A and B are shown apart, each in its own frame.
Chain A
Amino acid sequence: MNWSSFGHGSSSTSPAADPAATRPRSTRWAVGILAAALAAIGLVATLPGGAPSPAAASEESGEEPTTLTVGVVDPTVDSLNPFTSIYSTPTQIHRLMYDYLTMYSAEDATPTEGLAEDWEFSEDGLTWTYTIRDDSTFSDGEPVTADDVAYTYNTIMEDDSGAMANSSYLDNVESVTATDEHTVEIKLARPSASMLAIDIPIVPEHVWEQVENPGDFSNEDEYPIVGNGPWILTDYQRNESLTLEANEDYWRGAPGFDRLVYRFYKDGDAVVEALRKGEVSFVSGLTTLQAQALENEQDIVVNEAVGKRFAGLTLNPGAEAKNGESIGDGNPALRDPEVRTAILHAIDREAVAERVYSGKLEPSGSYIPSRYADYHWEPDESEIIAYDPDEANRILDEAGYARGDDGIRVSPDGTRLTLRQYVHSDIPEYLQIAKFMEEWLAEIGIEVETTPSDDIGGFLDSGEFDILFTGWTVNPDPDYIFSIQTCDVRPAEPGESYQTDSYMCDPAYDQMYAEQKTELDPDARAEIVQDMQQELYEHGVVIIFGYPDMLEAYRTDVIEEGSPQTQPAENGNIYGQDGYWGWWSAQPAGSGGGSGDDDSMSPVAVGVGVGAVVVVVVGGFLLMRRRSATAGQRE
């Protein structure tokens, strides 16, 4: 960095000896530099990378493969092995490469057929039978059978190394058997409502059984990777790009594009510029300002989608371990439901949506985002806890929290209503909401001290907080997201592992959770789920602000406008779906338009590139010649 300052005079000694002893080194410098340049050029040319020849179709037609290039910012691809990868980008890639037993529909993210055409469960709900389709083949020609499903699931259940990524889906499973080529039978310990939400990629048994340790298998060594999804992974350059080719034989139909490329960027602005230039054809995760700027551009269309995440915070309800020992030192006032209700009345979700998210947030107090239409709950007139500071003040006054001289309320037993608030220092919107919280609560006589932190989890560990910001992505099956607010996932003793998000422990809620977990009738389950959201809303430990929109944009001169199927159908997103609908259904614009913008460079670009190399080489030569020509001069 230029802050280790340059030192002139750091070693100035006066010359004493005869300088003729030193020959001009300039010639050697020039040669050295030239050699280095040539070596560099040679090394660059040998860089690994590039997909092997594309699918047969485009080869025959002799055309450039139609390519959809997606720009992604800062994805971490931890592993291409579906047994061990936990980050979201590779999980998404696996959705493209491998089929799942069942899928979530594009319409509304409800279960639909995947590898399994049909399914049924026994009376007692303990045995599920799936019928595997017969028109699915792996990319190397082998047909997909029930054995592959059984192999995949059993590997996860039996092999420790295979359990890393997905074992949670099979915790309740006792056995998985392929009763014949096209039937899989799964036996459970207890009935489960989530048997159509097993997000496990089905891998080819005939390939993987040759591997000693599935967990250690890199899956990055040989391309193309054998899979049975609509796309086949043909190339991966760490931190640079990922290339997939269309699976022409996919049972649901071949994708619209021949080739799908993910290009990795590290800077949000750079990826938008890349979209403008045509270096990429699709970008997701835009900021509000970027989306607004792109809306006015020709050939680019912006898609504002309903979010999958909720943004919110939790109030410390008096954190306790399961054995009853208390954890940390939350302000006891928060244990009083009246106080929490008052805080609920002091929150203005509309303001958050308008001023913090510039309108790109759907304000709501419900735990399940609105995109899951069957599950989402909205309070009706009588149930709304509205933004009403006066009401909040009234509640606190009546509950006996009198204001002190400095305006801050004091509880009947003498505790001052001062709350410590911890917020993620790297989420700008949260930092702003935190400031709003300070102002809102000040109005009702509660003092809030905010401290940004890089390690919010640490405060959850210690229990030494009053308000903690949180946010989660909600999957189509809400079981997991509900589980983290139950009594059962708190640490057994202080210091032990836990999964709770808030230390909430509400018996009524837990009761409903147990019910929905085993309710096999979708409508009945939806009812329970809605009641649970109401319970959370009123209980006031987990406070939701709403669902930030997902902002994406794509080039209409590459991708036919409107062709990518969104999920859900209305206001849905294309990138980051629970499924492959977006990329599978996207069609090239016009007829055969959208040839790889990234494959061919403009002539000007090539010219400059070649020119730069030439300048360096020629310049080096000239330098050399000048020096040696005059070296002959003697004194």
Chain B
Amino acid sequence: MGKTARYVVGRVLGAALSLLAVAFIGFFLFRVLPGDPVRTMTEDQAVSLEQLEALRAEFGLDQPLWQQFVDYVVQLAHLDLGTSFQYRGAESVAGLIGEKLLPTILLVGTATIISAVLGLWLGVRSGWRNGSVSDRVNTGVALTLWSVPTFWLGLMLIIVFAAGLGPIPDIFPAGGMRDPNVTGWALVPNVAMHMVLPVTTLVAVVYAQYLLVMRSSLLDEMGSDYLLTARAKGLRDAAVRRRHAVPNALLPTVTLIAIDLGGIVAGTILVESVFSWPGLGNMFYEALKVPDLPLIQGLFIFFSASVILMNLLADLVYPLLDPRVRR
């Protein structure tokens, strides 16, 4: 028991430490960003010198760096991520993140689940029929899609399915998460429609990973002795595959999902931009251009914290799935 407890505590502490490091980096990295937020925000507007000064004071930018850092730390200690420079109508950065969290999770969650399921299913079929035509085709298609830049694929999908090309009708929306002024249950099919293209893009470029990992893990397993034993016992192929080979081959794939969350965040930034999806990814990218320091810091911490958390979960869940690791 002691060993498990130590493992858990160790992992949790490690995660906490990482988070702390992220918080510190989050401050210094972005203060180095070029650009004066006040100047960028008031560009082209008829503002007086007093107004500029007032804005600077409001944002705390007239303070020396160490003072700003102290304020930042104190705020963080209260779990307050500050107020965005740009979105002054919103209550706080935390509030903004909360608002845009659901759209991003909807997109990312759906895409991850679908690509994992698709990848695993195809990976199993491919691995089992290793060397056959269907294996080659599966793997080939997956690899090709994986090599395509995400944003480019998104643009192509918009051209073909949202704009309509030749005989293909333009049935999908050109962007956004939903049509304005639709509420209640009618939202479900509406949002689903808007999700189709962005999710397809995300899935297409990512599922290859799961497919290939599953396939190679399965191939590893298939060469094992215990499977020969199972076969010798008279088990049907499908049963052998399902009850023995697949579960064991599943393990590396599970960790892969957790580890690649950073990559998923990246994909989100691009897909949200191309498809005008109102989520966190694009908010971050836009904030960099100002630079909207509290928002950038908050989002950076949030993204990193999510990945750290997912990794922690994976670390804690993996031993449950694989008894070998536990011992």
Contact = CB atoms under 8 A, between A and B. Distances in A.
Q: Do chains A and B touch in the complex (CB under 8 A)?
A: yes
B242 A40 contact: no
Contacts of B99: 238
Interface stretch (B8-16, B23-31, B49-57): B49-57
B87 to A, nearest CB: 6
Contacts of A267: 175, 273-276
A53 to B, nearest CB: 11
Given A2-B205, A219-B89, A167 B48 contact: yes
B53 A81 contact: no
A150 to B, nearest CB: 22
B193 A605 contact: yes
Interface string A263-274: 111110111011
B233 A164 contact: no
Main secondary structure of the interface of A (DSSP, over half): loop
A368 B179 CA distance: 40
Contacts of B130: none
B180 A240 contact: yes
Contacts, number: 304
B39 interface: yes
A87 B163 CA distance: 31
Main secondary structure of the interface of B (DSSP, over half): helix
B51 A47 contact: no
B162 to A, nearest CB: 5
User: Among the interface residues A69, A80, A238, which one has the most CB atoms of the partner chain B within 10 A?
Assistant: A238
A175 interface: no
B158 to A, nearest CB: 6
A269 B48 contact: no
A76 interface: yes
Interface string B61-88: 0000000000000000000000000111
B168 interface: no
Given A270-B274, A630-B239, A218 B91 contact: yes
Nearest to B249: A15
A598 interface: yes
B276 A270 contact: yes
Given A267-B274, A480-B46, A613-B192, A40 B216 contact: no
B90 interface: yes
A356 interface: no
Interface string A592-604: 0000101101101
B263 A1 contact: yes
**Chain A interface: which size bin?**
35 or more
B163 A612 contact: no
Interface in B91-137: 91, 96, 99-100, 102, 106, 109-110, 113, 117
A609 B113 contact: no
A15 B196 contact: no
Given A79-B89, A269-B158, A45 B187 contact: yes
Nearest to B147: A2
Contacts of B239: 630, 633
B48 to A, nearest CB: 4
B87 A273 contact: no
Given A12-B217, A266-B273, A598-B180, A4 B262 contact: yes
7 contacts: A20-B244, A26-B242, A36-B109, A87-B41, A265-B276, A480-B46, A604-B171
Q: Which 6 A-B pairs have the closest CB atoms?
A: A609-B189, A50-B183, A1-B266, A168-B48, A79-B89, A480-B46
Interface of B: 34-36, 39-42, 44-55, 58, 86-91, 96, 99-100, 102, 106, 109-110, 113, 117, 146, 150, 155, 158, 162-163, 169-185, 187-193, 196, 205-206, 208-209, 212-213, 216-217, 220-221, 224, 226, 230, 233, 235, 238-239, 242-244, 246-248, 250-252, 255-256, 260, 262-263, 266-267, 272-276, 278, 282-283, 286, 321, 323-324
